[in-house]
Amino acid sequence: MPSYFIGRFFYIQSNLNTQTIIMQSFRSELENIENPVVQQDIIDLAEKIQLHKDGKIDDDKFRSLRLARGVYGQRQPGVQMIRIKLPFGRLSARQLVRIADLAEEFGSGNLHATTRQDIQLHYVSLDRSPELWAKLEQDDITLREACGNTVRNITASAYAGVDPAEPFDVAPYAEEMFKYFLRNPICQEMGRKFKIAFSSSEEDSALSFIHDLGFIPKVKTVEGEVVRGFKVLLGGGLGAQPSMAEPIFDFLEEDRLIPFSEAIIRVFDRWGERNRRMKARFKFLLKDLGVEEILRLAAEEEQALPNKSYAIPYADFQQASIPEEIYPEVVASELEEKFALWKEVNVNPQKQEGFFSVAIKLPNGDLKSDRARAFAAVAQKFAQDDFRVTINQGYILRFVNEENLPALFNALDALNLAEPGFDSLADITACPGTDSCNLAISNSTNIATVLENVVINEYPEYVKNHAMNIKISGCPNACGQHTIASIGIHGSSLRNKENKKTLPALQLLLGGGIGKDGVGYLGEKVIKIPSKRGPEALRMLLNDYETHAEDGEYYYAYFLRQGKDYFFNLLKPLANLTTLIPDDYLDWGYTTEYKVETEVGECAGVIVDLVATLFFEVEEKIGLSEAAVADGRYADGIYHAYAALVNAAKALLIAKEVKASNQVKVIQAFDKEYVQTGDVSVAGGSFEEFVLRINKQDPTAAFAQQYLAEAKAFTETLKEFQKKQEVV
């Protein structure tokens, strides 16, 4: 590790009251990381934690800083959730063991799989999070931009590369997209998060229709050659106001994939809402400006892009080895029925002849450390050392030889990981809810377990049903993706007017999902009922479907045929609060009476409008710009300098109590409040023209050096101007 980083880090540590043997061991962990950029990132997190403790960084700004590094506050005080970013859910056995070991050492010993193919660790001390990160990076596992106002984890179909329906493997594209935007200056401090997904076919198994950018692979023949490209969808999202993505290109050539995505993200960074958090997602910007204007603004960014064309190294995608040994085993007679069902619903043939993919159903996406280590050993023995976390919180093993299926089943069953029903009605997706999240209103995980048991024990035929699903979120924000479920549920509350007491409730949505043609459907809110009546609601819905649905009719189609009012009247008796019993005032898994306990959520960083903080950021961004230009990363250097100019302008606007909702309005307001009044002079006469040269020039060395020098001088001028104003 370079001596500069070590020296700086231990200068910081020498000033801490908490320097311990743990911190000394942390030094060796840093030295084992080869990438100096990663080392610096971890050191910065440790430094910022101490600056926050010392009162030199306020709570809101610190929240934004740590979220961009995967550190998320829990409902429980004093501990954090650490989100591990796994591009398209890809894991090796070694990485899974590393995560399992660290879950025990630093957290609760549980690995929680998420709907974005991440893994979360809970109950981690904030002080120890840099050390945890350092140990993860030794196996090439990052936390960077797993949370916050960033490009979140790039997701993709878990069967990418083995899907018989795919025109080609999308994993190399997802991987390159992940690498390209990681630590990219254009997406570090946007108004909100930005999500990207790659589906392997028109079936849209990665749910591209709910993403800010969604890609579906396509091929066409040009002059006798097969050309790869993508259907592009733009502006989808869930949350309290869900929106379907709009198809904008039927075929975008593969070398345009990253340039186009960067242009869109640049537009979002500059034009996206930054004051009203609930309106800050890209879907709202798309609605406000329209598709044509968004594409026009994206075209304006073309000249500033460092890559007008970007070739994806498709042939260089690293493939893990596949075990060749055959393990001739038989399944015990008492397990033959379970084995047959497991093969029917959890095992799928690959496009590679003789090989199968095997799905692992995980209740609530949870896997304890000891079982995770044993699972890693089984996976490495029977499958390719490249398995995937799925968007429904399970795992997929790939390249299992057909002859090894009985032996694999035996090994998985011994770990209680061979339960049939993956991605069926009996495989409920659920966010952590009130177990750990500040935003959750009522429980998600315990009610998910109860409803799964209803399906398995009372409606076993639905264990085979992959066309229906149940998804649960602890609040309307839809981390559990309830908006696109056949039966969607989000946590809520009800108030009994007679005794003025509050009880936990479930808001039911029906009719979401993906149709036979890959088209997505959003569920509709139908009714809110007490939580403890959830099992009875499920029974009523399934009994009704069995009685009145036509043969082969998907649930979304049945819902549309019957209509919302039909289902409201069906479930209305469950909403009657005159028949409440004492148990209704207890949430699932709790023994004390329910009360609503929510705080400010951390799904995205909060923008902090403090003059001193903004000027501190200006200095940091100028420093980053200087480093990037010196390193030959001219586009990055230009963008850092641009961000410094915007922050400096925003600081002076705040001093006048002028609020601007996006970067463009900051620039325009600064012209009006300072330039046009003669308080500040700008070369060329307009701050807007001065700043937005960024998208009217090629990112050459000469322009980067000039823009940086002028940004540095101008921000210093603004800083001195503000100091004089403070004295006055």
Q: Count helices and strands (H / E) in the chain.
A: 22, 22
For the chain, give the number of residues.
728
User: What pLDDT shows up at residue 459?
Assistant: 97
- pLDDT (0 to 100) of residue 190: 93
User: Residue 632: is its pLDDT beyond 50?
Assistant: yes
Examine the domain organization and report whether 389 and 466 are in the same domain: no
Quick one: 199 and 286 in the same domain? yes
Q: Which CATH number belongs to the domain containing residue 471 in this structure?
A: 3.30.413.10
Predicted confidence band of residue 638 (pLDDT cuts 50, 70, 90): very high
183 and 307 part of one domain: yes
Q: How large is the average pLDDT for residues 238-245?
A: 91
Instruction: Please tell me whether residues 665 and 624 are part of one structural domain.
Output: yes
Same domain for 348 and 384, yes or no, is yes
> From CA 173, how far away is CA 314, in angstroms rounded?
7
Record the tokens describing residue 608, joined without a space: 């902090």
* 629 has pLDDT over 60: yes
Q: Please state, in angstroms and as integers, the Cα–Cα distance from residue 32 to each residue in 11, 94, 111, 179, 509, following that order.
A: 19, 17, 24, 21, 49
In this prediction, residue 170 carries a pLDDT of 98
CA 708 to chain centre: 33
**What is the identity of the amino acid at 665?**
K
Structural domain contains residue 146: no
At 605 the pLDDT is: 39
- 562 and 651 both lie in a single domain: no
Q: What is the pLDDT of residue 4?
A: 32
Confidence (pLDDT) at 380: 95
Residue 480 has pLDDT above 80, yes or no: yes
Mean pLDDT of the 15-33 span: 62
Is residue 323 a part of any domain in this protein?
no
Q: Domain for residue 603, yes or no?
A: no
387 and 470 part of one domain: no
Q: Where in the sequence is the domain holding 18, given as residue range(s)? A: 3-137
Q: What is the pLDDT of residues 268-288, one digit of tens each?
A: 999 999 988 889 999 999 999
**Same-domain check for residues 195 and 59:** no
Binned at pLDDT 50, 70 and 90, residue 471 comes out as: very high
Q: Does one domain contain both 252 and 373?
A: no
Contact 427, 359 (CB under 8 A): no
583, 488, 554: which is closest to 526 by C-alpha?
A: 488
Instruction: Round to whole Å and give the CA distance between 144 and 126.
Output: 15
Same-domain status, 301 and 161? yes
Mean pLDDT of 498-510: 95
* Cα 438 from Cα 98, distance rounded (Å): 28
Closest by Cα among 82, 62, 217 to 605: 62
Decide if 422 is inside a domain.
Answer: no
* Residue 505, strand partner residues: 492, 530
Stronger pLDDT, 435 or 414, i.e. the higher one: 414
- Mean pLDDT rounded to a whole number for the chain: 91
**Residue 117 located in a structural domain:** yes
Q: Is residue 648 in some structural domain? A: yes
Q: What are phi and psi of 700, to 5 degrees?
A: -85, 170
Torsion of CA 361, 362, 368, 373, to 10 degrees: 20
Phi and psi based region of residue 475 (left: phi greater than 0; alpha: psi -120 to 50; beta: remaining): beta
Q: How many domains does the chain have?
A: 5
Residue range 590-624, pLDDT digits in tens = 999 998 876 555 554 333 346 877 888 899 899 99
Q: At what angle do helices 257-271 and 663-670 cross, to 10 degrees?
A: 50
Looking at the DSSP bridge assignments, the partners of residue 183 are none
- How would you classify the pairing of strands 196-198 and 155-156? parallel
Q: Is the dihedral of CA 673, 679, 685, 689 positive or negative?
A: negative
pLDDT number for residue 612: 78
Residues 301 and 368 placed together within one structural domain of the fold: no
Question: Do 370 and 455 have their domain in common?
Answer: no
**Which residue among 414, 447, 468 closes a domain?**
414
Domain boundary among 137, 170, 190: 137
Query: What integer pLDDT is reported at residue 328 of this predicted model?
Result: 92
DSSP symbol at 142: B
pTM of the entire structure?
A: 0.93
Summarize the confidence of residues 83-102 as an average pLDDT.
97
DSSP 35-102: -HHHHHHHHHHHHHHHHHHTTSS-HHHHHHHHHTTTEEE-SSTTEEEEEEB-GGGEE-HHHHHHHHHH
Mean pLDDT of the region 200-206: 95
Whether residue 396 lies inside any domain: the answer is yes
Residue 127 lies in a domain: yes
CATH number at residue 92: 3.30.70
Residue in 265, 294, 258, 290 with CA at minimum distance from that of residue 180: 258
Boundary of a domain, candidates 288, 316, 344? 316
Long-range contacts, stretch 32-37, CB < 8 angstroms, 24+ apart: 32/134, 32/138, 33/1, 33/134, 33/137, 33/138, 35/137, 36/1, 36/2, 36/5, 37/183
The DSSP H or E segment spanning 123 is strand 119-125
Amino acid at 422: F
